[in-house]
Structures are given as C-alpha cells and as structure tokens.
Structure 1
C-alpha cells in the first residue's frame, strides 16, 4: 500500500471560522464540528482538521489543482476580497505568476496559515 496523508491538524484561532473560510475559498464543503475538530474533506484521502489552539503558529499547506479549479479558487478569492499573491513573502501582491508553475497563488488565514495553490495551466 502506498503512503498517503490521511489528515493533518491545522491550527486556528476559531476552528469553525477557519474551516468555513478554507472551504469557501477552495470550493469545498464544511459539515460542522466533529468533537473538537472542524474537519474539511479535501479529497477522498485527505481531511484538514482545524483545531483551536492558543497562540497558533501558521503552517504552509500546498495544493496542486487543475486549471478550472484554479480559476474557481481565484474567482472566489477575488469576490471575497481575500488578499493573494505570487510570493510567500508577499501573499498580498495580487499576482499569480508563481515561480514554480505557470499559475499559482498564496493566501493567509487568521492563524497565519499560508495556503499555496498551484496549477500547471
């Protein structure tokens, strides 16, 4: 059996708000709390479990997406007024000219989690 990532804990100031934010930007569903986690299923094998922590230290989470998924994410980010950018040090520069792929962007949540979305087209 190949190794796959099943879930990861994502630190949050407010776990439900963070889960809703991530799900809305990425075009995913948030179904509510599961004990002290606010899980968002990313695909059939991966769930992000948002958890409230004191003084959260942000993580970097990177996602490969196809061109149409990227277009949808970018449209939702723009519609919501979420700052985004092409550089992890400038995640608010409003650009998508990612250094590692034809199109990509970064955005940040309240816990300083840095999300990276990359598309080959």
Structure 2
C-alpha cells in the first residue's frame, strides 16, 4: 500500500503574496484561484493551496522542497535579490550559508508568514 501526498493547505495572511513569493523563489507558476485557494503546483503531483487565514494567527510550519542541483544556486540568487536571509540550519543560526547534507546542498528561509521553507538537492538518508 502506498499513499501519495496530493495537496496541502498553506495558511497565509495574504494568500496571493505568499503564493507568488514561494513560486518566484522556486521558479514555479501560480495557478488560477480555486475556491478560496491560490494553488502552486510543485511539479511532482503535489499542490500547495494557499489559504487566507483572516483574523486567525498563522502557525508557522515547515515545508521542504527537493530541487534540481542545477537550480539550487539560482534559487539562492533569487532569495538574495528579494532581500531574504537564508540559513544553513533549521534554527536559523548560520545566516548567508548553505549546508552540504547527504552530498547535496541545502538552505532554509522564512516565507512572509514565518513558515520555515527548506530547499535541498538530495533527500535525507533514512535508516532502512
């Protein structure tokens, strides 16, 4: 039995701004509104549906994206151009640095609502 993640909701104070921010960094497209959602298709069958939280505070979540190695530096350049600090670690103690976990490259950054976004070029190795 397998189960593939199809979509998830990302709460935001401004759904369009948050969708455009992430799509811009990752080099993706923002889709047409679908009900109360602004979708961003990640390209692997998973859609992030940005939903405006209204008066409800947004609880920061973690979202990790496996990205092509040849696109990683371009994404870092986009973060720098947008004035967004990136970090080598999930606790944001190593600003302006990337990591080399599992033989790849990785970085963390906050989206406009404080969601801890991660880009990695190699999946995390897990014990069998």
Shared fold (TM-score, shorter chain, > 0.5) = yes
Q: Show the counterpart of 2:73.
A: 71
Q: Structure 1 residues 96 and 52 mapped into 2: Cα distance closer, same or farther (>3 Å)?
A: same
Q: Which residue of 1 aligns with 2:42?
A: 42
Shift of 1:14: 0.5
| Distance verdict in 2 for CA 1:91–1:34, change over 3 Å | farther
Partner of 2:20: 20
TM value normalised by structure 2: 0.84
Dislocated runs of 4+, deviation >6 Å: none
Q: Give structure 1 stretches of 5+ with no counterpart.
A: none
TM-score, normalised to structure 1, is 0.89
Higher strand share: 1
Contact 2:69 2:104 (C-alpha < 8 Å) held by counterparts: no
Unaligned runs of 5+ in 2: 123-128
**Structure 1 counterpart of 2:7:** 7
Aligned residues: CA RMSD: 1.8
Q: Trace 1:77-96 onto structure 2 (pairs within 5 A).
A: 77-90=79-92, 93-96=95-98
- How many residue pairs get aligned? The number is 120
Any conservation in 1 of the 2:40–2:47 contact (CA below 8 Å)? yes
